[in-house]
Amino acid sequence: MKILNNPSSEIWKKSLERPVQKAKKINKVIKPIFKSVKKKGDQALIQFAEEFDGVKLTEILVTEEEIKAAKNQVSTELQEAIEVAYTNISKFHTAQKQDELVEEVMPGVICRRKSVPIQKVGLYIPGGTAPLFSTVLMLAVPAVIAGCSEIILCSPPDKEGNIHPAILYTASLVGLRKIAKVGGAQAIAAMTFGTESISAVDKIFGPGNQYVTAGKQRATNYGVAIDMPAGPSEVLVYADDSANPAFVAADLLSQAEHGIDSQVVLVTNSEDFAKKSLKEVDKQLKDLPRKDIAKKALKNSTAVVVKSRETTLDIINNYAPEHLIISVEDEEEVVDGIVNAGSVFIGKYTPESAGDYASGTNHTLPTYGYAKNYSGVSLDSFVKKITYQKITEKGLKLLGPTVEVMAENELLMAHKNAVSIRLNYLKNQK
């Protein structure tokens, strides 16, 4: 990581640019995948499993026997940890339920709004260099709480044709039974068009590599919604001398180990603190199993030293980080100034990894600056808000003339007549 000392806005903006995604090249790869899956269904999925995953599948869907067997392959310690996380995530997402809104805006005009679950949802769970069983909790828990009627989970198989047992155990814990051994863009295509084994869905959720991400964006061309656009994982840590350099280094590395295209940023008011933190990064890096991945990610990463609080907030809100860690003395004042971030971690004892796994918030968050206009996954992500209105005779008499005037001035006379004919009817009833 390089250190920028009091850089101009032009310099820090350029230095904090995310690695460029080669969308055109990626789309050339996924376009024929989508075409093949749409045409051949399960046959295409089996072919792609052999080509990309190196395995010959006989069945696309995981069997009940495989789900039961997975439990015996997960240690008691991990099962207990997953259950604690499940409880916390369930509590926080259940608390997000909203009562139906009913408002009589004027006498006889009643407006309502209520949440209705999205019927069919697809969950993508990566299983390559890191089997993300935690993401099963983050996506399946709110889907179940929301009441989605059909939930399909797709995850890539290993060379033996199996999905990681921790993924299967977690899916079973949450109550999922339809699990497909399909990864990559082909999984997204399957959930977009449907195959013999996999139902077409209304909305697709989940992180993935650049091909999965591009596949999700392509799915939107076919009327399928997605949770959010996504890029590589990232964190921005804002710390001052009250913070612990070892803690900061650990937080930076926890994101750097995600992938070679991940990005980590440190913003501080002290050059001495920046140097101490980067020294800790080098020290801790040596012992990481995924140090080669983290090293490459650190090449995309920067420490910025700025004295001004105003400039610091400008940097944070302009960067719009997926994860934002605040470890400064006057933390609440800083929190009040944050308008663009996926999820915020407050205080020196709040590591980002707590949110990744078990604090209760969701770790499926907007990256690549999309925190400026997207929220992370929540219960709201799995529901639609439908509005209703009921107008009584009295209400129409009060509201009708307003609608008539507005419609007439927009030159939409049929709109006006839809009101006028009713008002005349009521008038003639007397």
**How large is the C-alpha radius of gyration of the chain?**
26
> How far is Cα 195 from Cα 126, in angstroms, rounded to an integer?
20
Residues 6 or more apart in contact with residue 221 via CB below 8 angstroms: none
318 is in an annotated binding site: no
Parallel, antiparallel or unpaired: strands 120-124 and 2-5: unpaired
CA 307 to chain centre: 33
Phi-psi region of 165 (alpha: psi -120 to 50; beta: other; left: phi over 0): alpha
H or E element in which residue 390 lies: strand 383-391
Local structure of 305: helix, strand or coil: strand
> Among this protein's residues, is 164 annotated catalytic?
no
356 is in an annotated binding site: yes
> How far is Cα 360 from Cα 357, in angstroms, rounded to an integer?
8
93 is in an annotated binding site: no
340 is in an annotated binding site: no
Tokens representing 45 are 């999925």
HEC secondary structure over 147-208? CCCEEEEECCCCCCCCCCHHHHHHHHHHCCCCEECCCHHHHHHHHHHCCCCCCCCCEEECCC
73 is in an annotated binding site: no
> How far is Cα 375 from Cα 314, in angstroms, rounded to an integer?
20
Nearest to 18 by CA among 375, 377, 371: 371
Which residue carries 């080509």 as its tokens?
51
> How far is Cα 366 from Cα 193, in angstroms, rounded to an integer?
25
186 is in an annotated binding site: yes
Tell me the DSSP string of 250-282. HHHHHHHTT-TT-EEEEEES-HHHHHHHHHHHH
> Among this protein's residues, is 363 annotated catalytic?
no
User: Could you say which of 234, 257, 322, 331 is catalytic?
Assistant: 322
10 is in an annotated binding site: no
> How far is Cα 150 from Cα 116, in angstroms, rounded to an integer?
14
258 is in an annotated binding site: yes
User: Could you say which of 93, 234, 280, 323 is catalytic?
Assistant: 323
Task: Write out the binding residues for Zn(2+).
Answer: 255, 258, 356, 415
Name the binding residues for substrate: 233, 255, 258, 323, 356, 410, 415
Binding site feature residues for NAD(+)? 124, 186, 209
What residues form the annotated binding site?
124, 186, 209, 233, 255, 258, 323, 356, 410, 415
The catalytic site residues sit at: 322-323
